[in-house]
């Protein structure tokens, strides 16, 4: 079956370092991947989308890569700050039609001052 | 724009009771969906709708009903609440086309005793 997985449940890093989160997919080839941020007690908030023909996408201190050979997307936060502490979710859909998004279980990032 | 709104924010039910979780959006989005989020399980799709009058099942539809009589509203009905339905429920909406970002509501925390 089609799966999207975030292997790390939790990640702790020091303030100022680059956080790297991983999202892997199996048994399908997504046309795109999305990344969301979720703070405790709140709904997820969209951050970035990367399409299969894009190797890299940037937004301020955020960078997302998409490697179709490795079947993987990496999400980077550079110069991390305690305010970046949250759960980050990746999501995708088997095709670009009007189909539901499937989410990974998320990685809880803690940035330690 | 209020975005996606959900009521109530918290609810406690006894086993066997029924209730409706309300969801509304004011962005004229065709696509709406309901997820539940449980610790260690991530976001799981319950039901979704691609437009008024059209609904379909997601990954975990049992015990839930939906209807979509207007573009704005997408209520989720629990027919006979069970402790296994204790969860946080999120409603989301987006423009038609699965590559578009989803907007999530603030969630409803439901406890079934």
Largest CA distance in chain B: 39
Can you tell me whether residue B85 is helix, strand or coil? helix
**Chain B residues close to A41, C-beta within 8 Å:** 107
pLDDT the model gives residue B99: 67
**Chain B residues close to A102, C-beta within 8 Å:** 45
User: Closest Cα partner for A78 from A34, A17, A21?
Assistant: A17
Q: Are strands B4-7 and B19-25 parallel, antiparallel or unpaired?
A: antiparallel
pLDDT the model gives residue B40: 84
Average pLDDT, integer, range A58-66: 96
Query: How far A30 CA sits from the closest chain B CA (Å)?
Result: 10
DSSP code, position B9: S
Say yes or no for a CB contact (<8 Å) between A46 and B102.
yes
Mean pLDDT value across chain A: 92
pLDDT the model gives residue A96: 63
Where does the pLDDT of residue A100 fall: very low under 50, low under 70, confident under 90, or very high at 90 and above? confident
For chain A, the distance separating the N- and C-terminal CA atoms, rounded to the nearest angstrom, is 41
The minimal CB distance from B104 to the residues A44, A51, A93 is found for: A44
Mean pLDDT value across chain B: 95
User: Closest Cα partner for A7 from A77, A73, A76?
Assistant: A73
**Which of B14-18, B77-81, B96-100 has the weakest average pLDDT?**
B96-100
Say yes or no for a CB contact (<8 Å) between B102 and A101.
yes
Q: Which two tokens stand for residue A83?
A: 């305010």
B103 to chain A, any CB pair closer than 8 A? The answer is yes
Please, where are the H alpha helices in chain B? none
CB B72 within 8 A of CB B25: yes
**Could you read off the pLDDT of A26-39 as tens digits, one per residue?**
888 888 899 999 99
CB B46 within 8 A of CB B65: no
Residue A95 has pLDDT above 90, yes or no: no
Cα within 13 Å of Cα(A87), Cβ side: 20
**Could you read off the pLDDT of B21-52 as tens digits, one per residue?**
999 999 999 999 999 999 888 899 999 999 99
* Region class of B2: left (phi > 0), else alpha (psi between -120 and 50), else beta: alpha
CB B55 within 8 A of CB B66: yes
């Amino acid at each position: 079956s089609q799966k999207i997985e975030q292997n790390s449940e939790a990640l702790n890093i020091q303030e100022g370092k680059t956080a790297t989160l991983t999202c892997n997919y199996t048994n399908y080839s997504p046309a795109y991947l999305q990344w969301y941020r979720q703070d405790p007690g709140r709904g997820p908030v969209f951050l970035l989308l990367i399409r299969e023909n894009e190797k890299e996408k940037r937004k301020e201190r955020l960078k997302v890569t998409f490697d179709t050979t490795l079947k993987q997307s990496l999400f980077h936060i550079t110069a991390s700050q305690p305010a970046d502490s949250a759960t980050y979710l990746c999501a995708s859909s088997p095709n670009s039609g009007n189909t539901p998004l499937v989410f990974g279980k998320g990685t809880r990032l803690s940035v330690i001052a | 724009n209020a975005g996606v709104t959900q009521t109530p924010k918290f609810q406690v039910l006894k086993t066997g009771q029924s209730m409706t979780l309300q969801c509304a959006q004011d962005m004229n989005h065709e696509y709406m969906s309901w997820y539940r989020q449980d610790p260690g399980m991530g976001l799981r799709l319950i039901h979704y709708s691609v437009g008024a009058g059209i609904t379909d099942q997601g990954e975990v539809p049992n015990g839930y009903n939906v209807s979509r009589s207007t573009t704005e509203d997408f209520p989720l009905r629990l027919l006979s609440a069970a402790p296994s339905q204790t969860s946080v429920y999120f409603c989301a909406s987006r423009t038609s086309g699965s590559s578009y970002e989803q907007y999530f509501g603030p969630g409803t925390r439901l406890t079934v005793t």
